[in-house]
Amino acid sequence: MAKDTLKSLSHQVIYQVYPRNHSNAGTFAGVVADMDRIKDLGVDILYLLPIHPIGEAARKGTLGSPYSIQDYRAINPELGSIDDFKLLIEEAHKRGLKVMMDLVMNHTSRDHPWIQTQPEYYYLNKEGKMGNKVGDWSDIQDLDYDYLPLWDEMIDMLKDWVKLGVDGFRCDVAPFVPVDFWIKARNEIKKLNPDHIWLAESVHKEFLRHMRDEGFLCHSDGEMYAAFDVCYDYDIFQEAEDYFKGKKPLSAYIDRLQL
């Protein structure tokens, strides 16, 4: 946890929803229709996978990956409108549920408008061309956080979603983005909502080592906790995996939890 993380957060339940697959309708309205059931499960935080328009260039499959973002400030029309999303937030808040958005800050789709209008926002590979650092992520272009004006652009975008009523952010592959950016973003968002929730998708230690060996920035869980309330528990994943494979006793996992 970060230094100012609310202790009560450790007892809250997060329920992940992929709106496109959650109901037959595949819309925000389909999620709203199921909210009473979700609340009755004892859920505190409704976490939505990415809701932005999906890129079409180099799209994976027919529908594309929701992690290939074409516009950070827009809603995927297949899910509904901005008013539909506002209604979802209102209905969640009526039930005492917080709403967490999934945000992809490391990269955009290959047809994001910035490709043409703000090419300086993007990472360039050894050949001087826009690209991505992870080979099989073929439908995206990585952003370049060494270019500091990008920070202001991204933080302004985050503020707009918070002003709309969003209570938390789950940040995709957060360790690829400088922790100093996350600290600044957290401090700025705190001015709007002191209780805003930050969840980092941290990375497995083998992937962390691989990225660093390739010469790329990749933060550890410990580093990410400077800015995030919650990280994926990859720092104890090995003990959990070893237990399920019969290689270690459950006590080894519990001991790691208590460190």
Is residue 214, in this structure, part of any structural domain at all?
A: yes
Is residue 57, in this structure, part of any structural domain at all?
A: yes
Is residue 2, in this structure, part of any structural domain at all?
A: no
6-63 tens-digit pLDDT: 999 999 999 999 999 999 999 999 999 999 999 999 999 999 999 999 999 999 999 9
Average pLDDT, integer, range 100-119: 98
For residue 66, what is the domain's CATH number? 3.20.20.80
Query: Residue 204: phi, psi to the nearest 5?
Result: -60, 145
Is residue 165, in this structure, part of any structural domain at all?
A: yes
Torsion of CA 240, 243, 248, 249, to 10 degrees: 100
Give pLDDT, residue 33: 98
Q: Which residue has the higher pLDDT, 94 or 237?
A: 94
CA 14, CA 11: separation in Å to the nearest integer? 10
Average pLDDT, integer, range 211-239: 92
116-160 tens-digit pLDDT: 999 999 999 999 999 999 988 999 999 999 999 999 999 999 999
List 91, 172, 229, 239, catalytic entry: 172
Q: Which residue has the higher pLDDT, 79 or 235?
A: 79
Q: How confident is the model at residue 75 (pLDDT cuts 50, 70, 90)?
A: very high
| Residue 41, C-beta contacts closer than 8 angstroms, at least 6 positions apart | 13, 15
User: Which DSSP category does 94 fall into?
Assistant: H
Annotated catalytic, 172? yes
Is residue 52, in this structure, part of any structural domain at all?
A: yes
Alpha helices (runs of H) in the chain, residue ranges in sequence order = 19-22, 28-33, 35-40, 82-94, 114-117, 149-164, 179-190, 205-213, 221-224, 237-244, 250-257
pLDDT at residue 257 greater than cutoff 80: no
List 201, 221, 229, 239, catalytic entry: 201
pLDDT at residue 205 greater than cutoff 90: no
Q: Are strands 140-142 and 107-109 parallel, antiparallel or unpaired?
A: antiparallel
Q: How confident is the model at residue 258 (pLDDT cuts 50, 70, 90)?
A: confident
Query: Residue 116: phi, psi to the nearest 5?
Result: -95, -40
Q: Which range of residues forms the domain containing residue 213? A: 7-257
Is residue 138, in this structure, part of any structural domain at all?
A: yes
Average pLDDT of every residue of the chain: 96
CA 239, CA 232: separation in Å to the nearest integer? 14
pLDDT at residue 204 greater than cutoff 90: no
Is residue 1, in this structure, part of any structural domain at all?
A: no
What is the total count of domains within the chain? Answer: 1
The fraction of the chain above a pLDDT of 70, given in percent, is 100
pLDDT at residue 259 greater than cutoff 70: no
Nearest to 204 by CA among 218, 191, 194, 184: 218
Is residue 218, in this structure, part of any structural domain at all?
A: yes
CA 226, CA 66: separation in Å to the nearest integer? 28
Q: Which residue has the higher pLDDT, 234 or 134?
A: 134
Which residues pair with residue 98 across a beta bridge?
45
Give pLDDT, residue 213: 96
Token pair listed for 13 = 């339940």
CA 66 to chain CA centroid, Å, is 11
Token pair listed for 1 = 């946890």
Token pair listed for 113 = 């408008």
Which residues pair with residue 169 across a beta bridge?
101, 198
